[in-house]
DNA sequence: TGAGTATGTATCGACCGGCGGCCCATGCTT
DNA sequence: AAGCATGGGCCGCCGGTCGATACATACTCA
């Protein structure tokens, strides 16, 4: 068969990404295969490998877009919100987002690249940039803490929220949290915040070093 | 081929479980296949299916044993420990355990049963029983809180710790926390505890209902 | 009691459909 | 005419199935 030129490379690429995303959203990653994607878009399996190195590469791109979307929604959620509500808003938005795309979120959690190390840098950058909203929101609360402490607290609360949302979408562990994910998220955020403020109060300010333990 | 009777059914079962566990620990779940297991124990692939319904069934059993081991270590960690150190000890033990068995822990997180629901009850019970040490340890701190609040706080802190450890073993998200998992765990536990105590202090006791938000 | 036979079953391994990934002859488009 | 996007067959795997096999055992009978 020869060239079709019905779609440009870029169109074809987007077609593949869209088809793959919809398959994942509908039947989950177990129903996904190169043949299935190809069938959806009316091309042959081989064509996929002209556009993407392999399926992992394709999935990584889908995950990256999901991360972009999430980051966007996090940023939108806190614009024009009162400072003291921003962290709970972030948490709620994070949780809601994962609940809205459970299969794709599970993909993000469960998809592992074969071989042990080679997650591309741009992917890690996207993960890191999820932290940014949390750092921004914590900044006023931790105004006098050391930069290192601020980074640490942002990571902690982010990871905690992330953990709760992951447990909630992974149906294997869900009995623990399924009915009450949002409640637990609130609990985590509020109690952690209270802890931060309590530390600040006790030491006059948050001590730049070793303010805990 | 006929019966060998070199191993009893029970021995064979344990042989399979041991071989599978060692394959996972060494090369991870990607290197695992029925043929590979069979080769390790000197039997044919078909034999596996006399002992286990399928690979998922086998993996679930391995996960269950991992959960049992973890629970055991958690309980040991807090016996004879001063009350105020118990929660940090639990957290540290949890984290250390997952770091000691990273591939098997990843299996636990990432392994999904095909089809959406059918995680067996005994499996969910094992998950639930992980919560028990956390509830025990929180009890003295939350002596005057409602049972519902105590359950909630235990779940929250457990899920947070779980989330942090999972992020740390999943190499895809690791850049965030890899160098400092233990530090973040400490931060989470200490700050959350401070938050709980602060709530208790402010309201005289922890309010039985709606003590937050 | 011991040899010979019948029975049951543990085990094997070929087989099935499907997978990811590869590759290059084909034939359309320019 | 020529270059290249594309199709689709191919390879070596996979998980899982199942009928054939051959061994351990139970039984029979001398």
**CA–CA separation, A62 vs B162, rounded Å?**
26
List the domains of chain B with CATH numbers. 1-52 (1.10.10.60), 63-202 (1.10.357.10)
HSE-up of residue A121 (Cα within 13 Å, Cβ side): 0
HSE-up of residue B130 (Cα within 13 Å, Cβ side): 25
**What's the pLDDT at B194?**
95
Contacts of B199 in chain A (CB under 8 A): 191, 194
| Residue B191 touches chain A, beta carbons under 8 Å | yes
- The per-residue pLDDT for range B18-41, each reduced to its tens digit, is 999 999 999 999 899 999 999 999
Note whether B159 contacts A184, CB cutoff 8 Å: yes
Q: Which residues contact B87 (CB under 8 A, 6 or more apart)?
A: B134, B137, B138, B141, B157, B189, B193
List protein-proximal bases of chain C (any atom < 7 A from a CB): 8-14, 18-24, 26-30
Note whether B156 contacts A198, CB cutoff 8 Å: no
Please give the average per-residue pLDDT across A172-179, as a whole number.
62
HSE-up of residue A140 (Cα within 13 Å, Cβ side): 8
DSSP B171-187: TTSGGGTGGGHHHHHHH
Long-range Cβ contacts of B85-93 (<8 Å, 24+ apart)? B86/B137, B87/B134, B87/B137, B87/B138, B87/B141, B87/B157, B87/B189, B87/B193, B88/A213, B88/B186, B88/B189, B88/B190, B90/B133, B90/B134, B90/B137, B90/B161, B91/B161, B91/B185, B91/B186, B91/B188, B91/B189, B92/B182, B92/B185, B92/B186
Better-predicted residue by pLDDT, B203 or B58: B58
* Average pLDDT of chain B to the nearest whole number: 87
The answer to whether B128 touches B147, Cβ cutoff 8 Å, is no
Note whether B152 contacts A184, CB cutoff 8 Å: yes
- The per-residue pLDDT for range A69-112, each reduced to its tens digit, is 999 999 999 999 998 899 999 999 999 999 999 999 999 988 88
Point out the nucleotide closest to A34 (alpha carbon to C1′). Answer: C20
HSE-up of residue A92 (Cα within 13 Å, Cβ side): 12
Query: Is A29 strand, coil or helix?
Result: helix
Asked if pLDDT for residue B5 goes beyond 80, the answer is no
Looking at chain B from residue 32 to 61, which residues have their Cβ under 8 Å from any Cβ of chain A?
none
The answer to whether A194 touches A141, Cβ cutoff 8 Å, is no
Asked if pLDDT for residue B173 goes beyond 80, the answer is no
Q: Which residues contact A65 (CB under 8 A, 6 or more apart)?
A: A17
Quick one: pLDDT band at residue A180, thresholds 50, 70, 90?
confident
Cβ neighbours around B194 below 10 Å, total: 21
């Amino acid at each position: 068969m020869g060239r079709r030129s019905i779609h440009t490379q870029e169109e074809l690429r987007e077609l593949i990404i869209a088809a793959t995303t919809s398959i994942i959203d509908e039947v989950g990653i177990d129903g996904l295969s190169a043949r299935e994607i190809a069938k959806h878009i009316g091309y042959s399996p081989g064509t996929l490998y002209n556009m993407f190195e392999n399926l992992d590469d394709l999935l990584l791109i889908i995950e990256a877009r999901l991360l972009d979307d999430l980051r966007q929604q996090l940023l939108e959620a806190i614009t024009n919100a009162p400072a003291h509500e921003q962290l709970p808003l972030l948490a709620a938005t994070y949780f809601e987002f994962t609940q809205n795309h459970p299969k794709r979120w599970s993909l993000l959690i469960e998809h592992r690249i074969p071989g042990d190390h080679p997650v591309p840098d741009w992917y890690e950058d996207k993960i890191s940039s999820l932290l940014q909203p949390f750092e921004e929101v914590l900044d006023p609360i931790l105004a006098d803490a050391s930069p290192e402490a601020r980074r640490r607290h942002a990571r902690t609360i982010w990871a905690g929220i992330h953990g709760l949302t992951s447990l909630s979408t992974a149906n294997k562990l869900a009995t623990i949290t399924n009915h009450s994910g949002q409640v637990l998220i609130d609990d985590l955020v509020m109690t952690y915040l209270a802890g931060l403020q309590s530390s600040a109060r006790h030491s006059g300010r948050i001590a730049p070093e070793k303010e805990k333990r």
